[in-house]
């Protein structure tokens, strides 16, 4: 998928890493590796929502501030946030101060709690939508997929916000539900190994 970028160590990586040096560590150590931890899954789908209309670079630079502001994205804690917390966060220069996105994160924390009761875990829900990797053509660059459309539609039906198909697909890429590392990327083989060893949550 996509072209390659030669990193400072001379090794080829996905071309989007060329945008900023901060992307390289994120790409090499996180992006595309399977995740089954509910807190990390909740964090990522919230941060992808904050990214909407912006660059991931902006969000990545503020990620630690977001974690502090939102109790490390423990959705049981965030679900208890009140309007007073929203007003406090709107004054926090360390994060993206967008009322709709902040309120969506609090709302989605409540919806996440409901999902755990119904599905057992966020991980079980999201991994039940894992695409068939054998039928995917990674040479074609996409920003949505049939699965991201289906997840987005279902999440919205459950009351989640800021979870459009593009946001959901970016989440799927980052959390390893798909391996969109380019052919020839130094990290692609590692992502394949991790996906093979990954025990799919049920």
* Integer Cα distance of 18 and 5 in angstroms: 6
Dihedral of CA atoms 72, 74, 77, 79 in degrees, nearest 10, equals 120
* Active-site entry in 23, 43, 48, 169: 48
Q: What are phi and psi of 4, to 5 degrees?
A: -110, 155
Q: For this structure, is 48 an active site residue?
A: yes
156 vs 119: CA distance, rounded Å: 16
The whole-angstrom separation of Cα 162 and Cα 50 is: 8
Of 135, 134, 129, 120, nearest in space to 169 by CA: 129
Name the catalytic one among 23, 31, 56, 127: 56
**Is 114 considered catalytic here?**
no
Nearest residue to 28 via CA among 12, 43, 39, 42? 12
Told to judge if 31 belongs to the known catalytic residues of this protein, a careful annotator would answer no
For the chain, helix (H) and strand (E) counts, in that order, are 11, 2
| 119/7 Cα distance (integer angstroms) | 41
The catalytic residues are 26, 48, 56
């Amino acid at each position: 998928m996509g072209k390659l970028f030669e990193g400072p160590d001379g090794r080829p990586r996905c071309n989007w890493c060329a945008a900023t040096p901060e992307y390289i560590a994120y790409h090499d150590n996180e992006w595309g590796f399977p995740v089954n931890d509910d807190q990390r899954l909740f964090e990522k789908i919230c941060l992808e929502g904050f990214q909407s209309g912006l660059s991931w670079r902006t969000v990545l630079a503020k990620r630690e501030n977001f974690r502090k502001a939102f109790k490390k994205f423990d959705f049981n804690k965030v679900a208890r946030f009140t309007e007073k917390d929203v007003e406090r966060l709107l004054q926090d220069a360390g994060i993206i101060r967008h009322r709709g996105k902040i309120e969506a994160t609090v709302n989605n924390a409540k919806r996440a709690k409901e999902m755990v009761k119904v599905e057992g875990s966020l991980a079980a829900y999201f991994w039940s939508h894992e695409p068939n990797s054998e039928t995917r053509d990674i040479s074609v660059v996409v920003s949505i997929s049939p699965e991201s459309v289906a997840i987005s539609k279902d999440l919205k039906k459950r009351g989640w916000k800021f979870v459009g198909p593009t946001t959901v697909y970016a989440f799927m890429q980052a959390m390893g539900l798909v391996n969109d590392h380019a052919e020839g990327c130094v990290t692609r083989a590692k992502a394949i190994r991790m996906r093979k060893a990954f025990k799919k949550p049920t």
